[in-house]
Structures are given as structure tokens and as C-alpha cells.
Structure 1
Amino acid sequence: MSIKKSNFPDIKIPEGTVFDVVFSNLEERKDLVLLVDGLSDKSYTLQQMYELSRRTSCALRKHGLRKGDVLAIISPNTLDYPIVQLAAMAIGATITAFNPLSTPKEISYLLNDSGARFVILHPFVIKNYEAAENKGVDEKFVFGNVDGYTSISSFYEEDDSTFMVDETIDVKEDVAMMFYSSGTTGLPKGVMLSHRNINSIFGMADVINELHPIFFVGKVCFGLLPFYHIYGSILVLFLRMVTSKKLIIVPRFDPEGFLAAIQKYKIEMLNLVPPLINFLAKSPLVDNFDLSSVSSVFSGGASLSPEVGQLAASRLNLQLIYQGFGMTETTGACHFPPPGKRIDTIGYPLPSMECKIVDSESKKLMGPNEVGELRVRGPNVMLGYWKKPKETSETMDEDGFLRTGDIGYYDDEGLFYLVDRIKELIKYKGYQVAPAELEAILNGHPAVLESAVIGVKNEEAGELPRAIIVKRPNQDVTAEDLITYVNEKVSPQKKLRGGVIFVADVPKLPSGKILRRALREQYGKA
């Protein structure tokens, strides 16, 4: 029983602000095309990004943006999104970003909670933005051209002779970015990340690249995952810029457009979430496109069923699909699998990280193959929750470890595995039943496209496991078929005693996490 340290060598965290790190070695890399708009083919080299970021930074200063201010972006992915992020961070401002599909009520809450004085919008967001009440915003800008809004493109003509990265920025303590947690168990919380938190991810990538270059061998990547999410922003957008990869940016997932872009741009590296991997595994559309350029696929955001992962890997002629693990609170990542390992493991702790498994009841430190809560510590762990000191202290334990809220264990090799979320465990007659385990079995059935398992309240047993199922097209399967299929494979307490309900779709967050709260509200009654 011990604290498990990373098997990787310790990292050297790049010095300076995120702006400094992204544009390091500029002279050597200036002509590299790093960003490409997958719809228009417009592109930016690193030199162009540098110049536009400087000009935008000077323009934002003229409009009153200062160190410590919060600037919010509400937009799908665009070529200019990172320009604004870098420009604001050079000033010492904090970037936050929201889902462009947010309702007026959600926009109002997020703007007020974050204290954003400046907001940048995509044109299609404006209707909901203007319907939001009590926004508290001083200045509003837009990607594109809309009457009454200052266009970001006008900043690109600004004189940048006065540009400077604010010398008073404390890279360890000042908040560079603030991403909002998913809010699956309550209102979303702002997760504060410093420049050092973000730069530590780049340092971790350097170590992994040296030891396992297979993970960085491709030159063309897909910028499909939303930039308002930690996965899409840090692990895709910024990490790919720092490692000199070309990123093909698209605003949203469109089945045929997704596959056509892979074929057109010969995309080699895919960062995806489980629903998209499920699409690659099971959609008949995949057979209509040449995806032979794809050399590696990474899954994150939610747990990936091993069966679905193997199906997708086989279809793409890959050895396997790699699954890591991270949270917004760990700047997107904390575990990474070495090449050739099984898909069911999240791998080893990232370089310079420490982990432990703690019994949720007794707080006892657990040993190999003993299940408990995963807790992590490292340079990528957040500063805390925005304006929520109580929640921050509850999330960090007495030794400075982040309580992940995930149940898991490590094996004799030091590889880590996740079982489920603490708050999602179903309690049947005192037994803990992990929905993810039952979902993995269900997703292995040839007639099942997607599944979600929830607990249904029962006076005698406490809760009964119930499956919510989306069938594959043109498949005929009954509830009884699936109940028998699962019950033959599990111990008695895990049987689907709550039954099976067929639905058109399973509600999910953009990260791929199932919205169990919505499912429980709709289908959780006996």
C-alpha cells in the first residue's frame, strides 16, 4: 500500500506564459502551417498567428482589457479562436469559454459567475446572448461581421509596435484559463488553471514523445472537439500547436463531413470521445470513405467500452485505440497508456504525477487490485474552483491530492483502471454496481448502438439496475433478449432487475459523458 509515482521521468516545465511557450523557437517554425479551416481551406502559419495575436492583444488593451480581467468566448471552433486566447493571455487576462449552444439562462449564469467584462461571440450565438438577462458585460465583439458588434477581424489591422507580454504575470498563481466543469452533479464550477498548469501538460508531452514517439508521429490532426472544453482546447488545439502539428479545424460534428475531412486532408491523428468512436465502429457511412491515413486514435472525455474500441480499431486497421484519463481539474490529463497495452486500462500516471487509491469509507490507503477512490497530485492540478473556496477545500485532501470522484484500482504492473464514478454507483442491497461495467457488456451486443445504465429506486433493494438502449438501425432485439444476454454474464447483484427501455438517443455532454441525471429524471421511476 503506497502512493504510486509515475513510471516516466520527471518533466521540465516550460518557462514563461502560454503565449511565450506557443511561440518559442519562432524563427525555426515560422513557416509551418499550423491551423487550417476545414470548410474554407483558409490557413495560418505560426508567423501569421504570432502577428495576429500581437495586433489583437494591442487592440484588446485599447478596448480596456487588463490583467486579471475575464474575457469569455461563446463560439464553435474557428480559425481565429486561438488568436484571441493567446492575445488575452499575453495581457494577463483570463480566458473562459462556453458552449455555443448554451441557452439564454445558461449564458446569464456563466457570464455572471465568471465576472466576464468582455465577450466574443459567433454570429449564430447572438440571438441567445441578447435574450440573456443581467449579463454585466462592458464590451462585446464578434467573429465575422454583425451590426452593433466590433469585429475581431478589425483588430488584425492594429499597430502592434506597443505589444508586450505583461511582465507582472505570475505564471504559478495567475489564472490563464478557466473552464467550466460539466455540472453533472450541480451548477457548473469554474476551474482555474495557471500558465504553469497548462505548460506542465506541454512538458509531460515532451517526455512521452521522447520515450514513445508513436503518439506524436502523425503530422496532421483533427480539431473537431470543441475548444470551449478542456480536451479540445488544451490536449488538441494548444498541444498540437506546441508540437508543430497541422490542425484541421471544423465547427461541429457532421457524419459525412467528418469522414470527408479525414479523406481530403489525409488526417493521421484523431482525438475523439466515445460516441465518435462508436460511430466509427458501427456506422455504415464509414465504408464510403478512405480513412487509411489514420495512424492513431485517442479516446478521452468519458470511459470507452473495450468492445467498441476494438471494433473501431479493427475497422481502421489499427492495433488498438488508446484511452487516457483526465479531468478539467487536471488540465485535461493525468494518465496515459504506453504503446501496446490493453484498451481497458487508462495507463500509468503522467510524468511528475503521483496517485493513490483510498477507501471511500475508512480512508485507508489501498494496495494493488484493491478498489477505492483515485486521487492525484501533480503540477497540472488546478489552482481551485473560481469563487468557491469551500468546494475547493472539499475536493483537495489533507496531502494536496485531488479527489477525482472516480472509483478504480491499479494492478501489479502499476497500470490504473477505472470502475465508475462514486456518485453514479448503483446500490443494490448494499452491493455497489458500476453502470460502466454493464454498459460495456451491453455495447458488445451486435444490436446495441448505445447504452446507459441507471438505478431505479426500490423499497426492498434500494436500487435496481435499468438499461436505456439505442438500437442499431434495422436490428430486432427485445428487452428480454438483452436482459438474458447481460444476466448470463454477471453476478446476481448486477442483473438488470430494473428492466430495459428503448430510446431514440442517450443524452450526453459534448465530452461524451452520459447525462445520467436527465435519464434518472425521465426513466428512473419504478
Structure 2
Amino acid sequence: MATFRSVFPLPHIPDDLTIPQFILDSQHPSRPLRPYTTPWLIEDHTGRPFGHSELSHRTFGLANALSLKWGIKRHDIVCIFSPNNIDYATTIWAVHRLGGIITPANPGYMVEELVHQLHATKAALLVIHPTFLDTAHKAAQIAGLPNDRIILIEDPPYSETTSKHTSINNLVDFGSNAPQNFIEARLKPGEARTTLAFLSFSSGTTGKPKAVAIPHYSVIANIIQMATHYKINDKSWKEKRMIPGDVAIAVLPFFHIYGLVVNLHYLLFCGMSVVVVPKFNFPVFLESLVRHRITHLYIVPPQVVLMCKHPDMKKYNLSHIKFCMSGAAPLSGELMEQLHKVLPNATIGQGYGLTETCTTVAMIPPTQKIATIGSAGQLIPGIIAKVVKVDGSLAVEGEQGELVVTGPSMALGYLNNETATRETFVDGWVRTGDEVIIKNGEVYVVDRLKEIMKVRGFQVAPAELEGHLLMHPDVVDACVISIPDEYSGELPMAYIVLSEAARKRISGNQDASLKLKAVLEKHVADVKVAYKRLAGGVEFIDAIPKNPSGKMLRRVLRDQARKLKVTRTESIRARL
């Protein structure tokens, strides 16, 4: 068998709609009817519901204000630098109404990382949470973005600094009370396939984070693919996984493709209410699950670990949860079994996807209550997959190789990066960089061929950390690899070749060696978001192993690090 695919056909996917027109204005045949009284979004800490009419009103008011005050129009790019917020959706849809493009940024970014995204996308506006105003000011100044183009996503406590910036609430009021200043973007048949909606950042298979160009059609297609997979509006299908009136919790960040497409847009399409959580705090998260009677959980493995092991779990009855899906990184069979004990009434499984595939490629089958151990899910309708072996030939069922996929939701490539695009996007197919086996239509991820590691579900590019380490005067070479971690999945660890002067300085002095390791860890921590820090530690090495062409042999050091971890663990146990 050369290719693998779902047996279920896809319904029509409109290619002349923007995302807000599809979500807010239309009724696709695969979409169930939402009762008028069922909220769309719910603010977690207040419980305040937001229905269709209010969200539509806020979207129009904000779009009109953006047009009036800054002239935002087709192809203009707006960066959102904020945790989850009710107006995250409003901002997305308002910019899309104007024909603009959203680039979501991780609010944990340090100045250097935000500058990279602003420069790469040439963003015209920056919508931020007031908490991150200092970082935003510094990054905007370096990127050449004027202060009056920084907007606050929520009203802050008054201060001299915050008073210089307007808020989304103020803009909604202004735009709602002013004559309409824009003509909404209308697409011709086929234009949604190439009209950009998002520039979402991913490291791809190698290198620094790159802007993935995602058109409106890709998001709409993936929503319809997931809806078809779970037969959410199929009258003959009785075991529906998602129904109008169900309540999901959006604890995954909307800047991440999983949270953006699945948690936000797909669940709204299903007629569900989505509880918007700005920041993950486990005890507070548990209280929210009970207070809102959450039925659906979309989480990542570190959160699964907490649900299986945290002592606070014993305080809560979570029998109302009927569906739990883990994604963004592999989930072990042991954790799946433990989670089933914690959530006895829930369907439990995994999903698999990438930013480059505009999210979902595979999900737990609609017929399974508990997913097959080790499976990342069943290929969803519209996805065609092939498994390419090392010699370039195509694997048959049960054989191992790199997963390569195509379908209607694939991104267009990387913005302004033809070299990286050619490496990952090949004749309409996306090279995932993951080594898999496909059996009975289900995907089993065996290993990661690409260099990118996953830390708590977030991508970390070794080259980015290595480049920063090489800026330190004591470092002449560096190789960052991943080590396994039960909570985070993987942790970055650095092997470092020191300069001659640094080697002499620490020679025979263990304290000096430990202090230098701490200095190098801080060198990274000072400028990188928390999940990119060297939590796996630093080890000094005489030389980085490389092949004849000079490419680093990461696998050699990865194997060495795992042995080192085992040795350390055994040493600790011996002392106990």
C-alpha cells in the first residue's frame, strides 16, 4: 500500500469565505444548530457568558475602529501578544473582516523573541495584555513600531504608562458609534485557498521559528474534517462526541495552533461553550472544571501528568467529563491508563498535527472509548498519508518511516523563506519529520527525525539556543539535545565546548565548573521564554561529534545524555 487515508468522504469545503464569515455568518451542513441560549464563550473567573450577538457586535466595532484610527486593510498584519482572553477571538475576527492577517505571539516571549516575530511579519499593530507592556515597549522600539500602535486587550489599572494606550473596550465603543468606514473583505471562489489568515510560528524541521503561512481555507477545511471525523451533525450517528450545550475549557493557549484551531474555532463550530482561561494554574484549573461543569478537555501531556499524580485531584468529582484528548506531544500508555482511572466516564485518546498542516492530521476514532495504547489517532477524512523509508521507497502497513501528508488543510509554506519551504513542503505534501508506523488507519509515532524537541507541547529549536550560547565568550561550540522528562516530555540540555581560557579557569575546580554551568544556564534564561531554558542542564565536552561534512551528530549526544541520566539516577538511589 503506497498511501493511507480515511474511508469517510469529505463534504463541500467553501473556498470563498473568511474565517469569521464561516464561523459567525454561515451554517455549513456539517454544523449542528446551536440553541440561542447556549453561550459561545465564557469568561472563566467571572462566569460571564458571551453569545453570538455580543461577539458579532464587538467584532464589528473593533474592525471599524481599526479602520478609522489606523487604516488597517487587506494584507496588513496584526500581532497578538496576550494570554487567552475573550477578546482574543474578537481581535482575530475583526482583523479578518478587514482582510488583514493575525500573527499570534507567545506572551512568555522575551524582548529578543518578540522582536524576531515583529520583524519577520512586519506587523502594523501590536495587541497586548497590560502585564507584558514593558516587553512590548522594548520590542516595539527595536522593531520600529510606534507606541501609539500598541493596543491593550483589556482595561488595566490606571497608571501613567497604561494611560498612553487605548484598549479593545474603548475601541469597540468608538467603532460601534461611528459610521462604518470599511467594506468587508469578500472573496471570489477559490481565493480563500491563498488569502492568508494567520502567520503562526513554528520551527519546522530545523532552525529558528518561522512564520507558517496559513490561509482561511486551511482553517475552515480542518474544522470540517474534524466535524466529519466525529459525525457531529450526522443524524444516523448516535454516539456523538460533541453536541451543542457541551462545555469545553480553553486552557491551551490560543497562540498555539492546537488552541487556536481546535480549542477555539472547531469547538465553537460544534455548538459548544468554551470557557476561556488566561493562565494554567492546576488547583484553579480543577476548581474551574467543577464550577463550569466541563464536559470536554483538550490538554497536553504535562497536564495529564498532574491529573494523574497531583494530590488535589482527590478533592474533586470529575464524573461530568465525557471527553479528554491529549495532543502536541506523545502520551505514554501508562499515563493513558492512569487517566482512565481519574476520568472513568470519559472517552480518552490522542490527536496528532502540526502548525504546517494547520493542525489535525489524526484523532482518536469515533468508535473508540479508550484509544489504542501508543496510537496518536486515526487519520481524519481528507488526509492522505504516506510513510517514506530511509531509502526513499514507500512503506507498506506496519513498516516504519517518515510520515508525509497532504490534504485540504495544509499551509502554503514559510513566509519569505524559500529554502525552508522547499525542505518541508514538497509538491503539495508536508514532511512532518516524525518517524511513524501506520496500522489499521492509526498513526503510531516512533521517533522524531527532525531536530526540534517538544517541551510541554511547545517547539524548541536547538539551533536557536546554540546560536545564543555561542555568543557567550567562554563558549566555542555547543550542541543542544533533548532528554526525556516525565512532566515536560523533553527538556533542553546543552553540551558545550569551552574556550581554552575557560577550561584553564575551571580545571580541577568543581565549584568553578558548577558556577560556570549556572552562568551559561542564566545566559539562556535571561533572554528566552521559560520552556526554552536549559532545564536539562549543561555538560562540558572536549568536542561536539560531527560527521565528515560537519553536521552535528545529535543522536550520539542524545544517547550519551540518556546514559548519563541513568548513571546519575542509580548513584542517587545507591546513596538512599
TM-score, length-scaled by structure 2: 0.73
- Spell out the pairing of 1:3-22 with structure 2 (5 A cutoff): 3-15=3-15, 16-22=17-23
2:501 corresponds to: none
- Spell out the pairing of 1:193-204 with structure 2 (5 A cutoff): 193-204=214-225
SS in 2 for 1:54: helix
Q: How far apart are residue 520 of structure 1 and its match? A: 7.2
CA distance, structure 1, for counterparts of residue 359 and residue 332 of structure 2: 20
Matched, 1:369 2:395: no
SS in 2 for 1:345: coil
2:311 corresponds to: 284
1:494 corresponds to: none
Mean CA deviation greater in 223-232 or 516-525: 516-525
1:468 corresponds to: none
Q: Which amino acid aligns with 1:229?
A: H
1:234–1:454 CA distance, 2 compared to 1 (3 A):
closer
Q: Which amino acid aligns with 1:142?
A: L
2:119 corresponds to: 112
Q: How far apart are residue 243 of structure 1 and its match? A: 1.5
- Spell out the pairing of 1:166-205 with structure 2 (5 A cutoff): 166-168=185-187, 170-182=191-203, 185-205=206-226
Q: How far apart are residue 30 of structure 1 and its match? A: 5.1
1:182–1:76 CA distance, 2 compared to 1 (3 A):
farther
CA distance, structure 2, for counterparts of residue 425 and residue 48 of structure 1: 41
2:274 corresponds to: 247
Q: Which amino acid aligns with 2:4?
A: K
Q: Which amino acid aligns with 1:343?
A: I
Q: Which amino acid aligns with 1:262?
A: L
1:404 corresponds to: 432
CA distance, structure 2, for counterparts of residue 196 and residue 187 of structure 1: 26
TM-score, length-scaled by structure 1: 0.80
Structure 1 contact 269–297 (Cα < 8 Å) conserved: yes
2:97 corresponds to: 90
Q: How far apart are residue 380 of structure 1 and its match? A: 0.5
SS in 1 for 2:279: coil
Cα deviations by residue, 1:137-194 (Å, 9 ceiling, x for unpaired): 2522112242111211112222375354212573111110111115784211111110
Q: Which amino acid aligns with 1:197?
A: S
Q: Which amino acid aligns with 1:375?
A: V
Structure 1 contact 72–96 (Cα < 8 Å) conserved: yes
SS in 1 for 2:46: coil
Cα deviations by residue, 1:81-103 (Å, 9 ceiling, x for unpaired): 10010000111100011111110
2:53 corresponds to: 47
CA distance, structure 1, for counterparts of residue 8 and residue 169 of structure 2: 44
CA distance, structure 1, for counterparts of residue 356 and residue 309 of structure 2: 32
CA distance, structure 1, for counterparts of residue 304 and residue 536 of structure 2: 22
SS in 2 for 1:147: helix
Structure 1 contact 14–203 (Cα < 8 Å) conserved: no
2:372 corresponds to: 342
- Spell out the pairing of 1:99-138 with structure 2 (5 A cutoff): 99-132=106-139, 133-138=141-146
1:425–1:177 CA distance, 2 compared to 1 (3 A):
closer
Q: How far apart are residue 203 of structure 1 and its match? A: 1.2
Cα deviations by residue, 1:400-445 (Å, 9 ceiling, x for unpaired): 211000000112x23221101103599xxxxxxxx99x96xx96xx
1:304–1:64 CA distance, 2 compared to 1 (3 A):
same
1:491 corresponds to: none
1:53–1:265 CA distance, 2 compared to 1 (3 A):
same
Q: Which amino acid aligns with 1:166?
A: A
Structure 1 contact 111–135 (Cα < 8 Å) conserved: yes
Structure 2 contact 352–363 (Cα < 8 Å) conserved: yes
Cα deviations by residue, 1:52-71 (Å, 9 ceiling, x for unpaired): 10111111111211100100
CA distance, structure 1, for counterparts of residue 491 and residue 55 of structure 2: 45
1:116–1:306 CA distance, 2 compared to 1 (3 A):
same
1:353 corresponds to: 383
1:502 corresponds to: none
Q: How far apart are residue 452 of structure 1 and its match? A: 4.4
1:322–1:142 CA distance, 2 compared to 1 (3 A):
same
Give the aligned length. Answer: 454
Q: How far apart are residue 345 of structure 1 and its match? A: 1.1
Q: Which of 121, 126, 142 in structure 1 is aligned with 2:152?
A: 142
1:78 corresponds to: 85
Q: Which of 507, 529, 536 in structure 2 is aligned with 1:519?
A: 536
Structure 1 contact 171–194 (Cα < 8 Å) conserved: yes
Q: Which of 266, 277, 284 in structure 2 is aligned with 1:257?
A: 284
Q: Which amino acid aligns with 2:46?
A: S
CA distance, structure 2, for counterparts of residue 389 and residue 518 of structure 1: 33
SS in 2 for 1:171: helix
RMSD: 2.9
1:151 corresponds to: 167
1:451–1:104 CA distance, 2 compared to 1 (3 A):
closer
Q: Which amino acid aligns with 2:92?
A: Q
CA distance, structure 2, for counterparts of residue 21 and residue 30 of structure 1: 18
2:64 corresponds to: 58
2:255 corresponds to: 228
SS in 2 for 1:216: coil
CA distance, structure 1, for counterparts of residue 388 and residue 537 of structure 2: 28
SS in 1 for 2:353: coil
CA distance, structure 2, for counterparts of residue 238 and residue 288 of structure 1: 32
CA distance, structure 2, for counterparts of residue 233 and residue 331 of structure 1: 10
SS in 1 for 2:192: coil
Sequence identity of aligned pairs in percent?
Answer: 26
Structure 1 contact 111–136 (Cα < 8 Å) conserved: no
Q: How far apart are residue 347 of structure 1 and its match? A: 2.6
Q: How far apart are residue 130 of structure 1 and its match? A: 1.5
CA distance, structure 1, for counterparts of residue 381 and residue 88 of structure 2: 29
Q: How far apart are residue 515 of structure 1 and its match? A: 5.9
CA distance, structure 2, for counterparts of residue 34 and residue 522 of structure 1: 50
